[in-house]
Amino acid sequence: MIYIKELRSGLNIFKALSSEIRIEILELLAKNQSLNLNDLANKLNLTNGAITMHIKKLEESGLIEINTAVGKHGIQKICYLTEEKLMVDLQSKEIDNLYEVNMKVGHYSNYQALPTCGLATKDSIVGDFDDPRYFADPQRIDSQIIWLSEGFLEYRIPNYLKPNQTFKEIQFSMELSSEAPGYCNNYPSDIYFYINGQEIGFWTSPGDFGDARGTFNPDWWPPHLNQYGMLKLIRVNDEGSFIDGCRISDVTLSDIKLDYKSEINFKMAVDDKSKNKRGLTIYGQHFGNYNQDLLARVLYTNQEESI
């Protein structure tokens, strides 16, 4: 994810996005994962000189990267996206620092799972389908996809704050969907989120998607199972709790009472509160459409500098 905290720091990116042609280039790369310059020029009916100019601006902005490869017709320049999500804070906030933790989806600290359920690494299924006992298998740490029809997954996020530092915002980003036997694109499920046992709200997943193969799914993953989810961003600060910018509750950081001594336990659940109880699936780096695991981000300030 490219995160722009201050508008001025994103000027190069905004300039790169000011061209409709460059937007089309990004759309093509998102759809095809990677393309060489000749392919892009042909798809957009541009000369090699024109496409090179646009590619250079996108590369300078950091939105794409270019690698060289040997092809049938000599050396080719292959273009691909550097990140798949761009977040911009329109309102400047006095945030002194932040840290990020990228956790494998199998690195949960507690769980409850009812069938249909299971988990898999990028190489194989862990244990057997629909057997919750394998959620305790040591190999589950390497899981890259986890699914359950009812229950929860809880993750312990490290707290690196020092005594003179204060939480300003905590964020979680992950790819999620519902859980249907096989898959079902129209299969709404209410997924609730908790921090340290405090409910912060829920999101209704529209379905368990399988109409197209997940971009990062391994070759062995069966086509009749769920393939991808939706990337969601949860934020909790002093103003409330939000998902993708939409308020999901009035719960604030003050309500959760986080400080430098606090444990941070993040839980997602489909339980008795869920009116639509149709499970959840979480996708890691090697499954789904987004090349990431569970990403936690903590934004904080130094107290002596905020006085």
Q: Are 107 and 141 in contact (CB under 8 A)?
A: yes
Mean pLDDT (the chain) is: 91
Domains, the chain: 2-81 (1.10.10.10), 93-306 (2.60.120.260)
CA-to-CA distance for 99 and 117, rounded, in angstroms? Answer: 33
- Closest Cα partner for 266 from 138, 126, 111, 118? 111
Residues of the chain with pLDDT under 70: 1, 3, 5-6, 8-9, 71-73, 89-96, 304-307
For 237-263, how does the pLDDT look when each residue is reduced to its tens digit (9 = 90+)?
Answer: 999 999 998 999 999 999 999 999 999
Indicate the SS3 state at residue 193. Answer: strand
For 279-293, how does the pLDDT look when each residue is reduced to its tens digit (9 = 90+)?
Answer: 999 999 999 998 899
Helices 48-61 & 20-32 angle (0-180, nearest 10) = 80
Torsion of CA 255, 257, 262, 265, to 10 degrees: 0
User: What predicted TM-score, i.e. pTM, was given to this entire model?
Assistant: 0.73
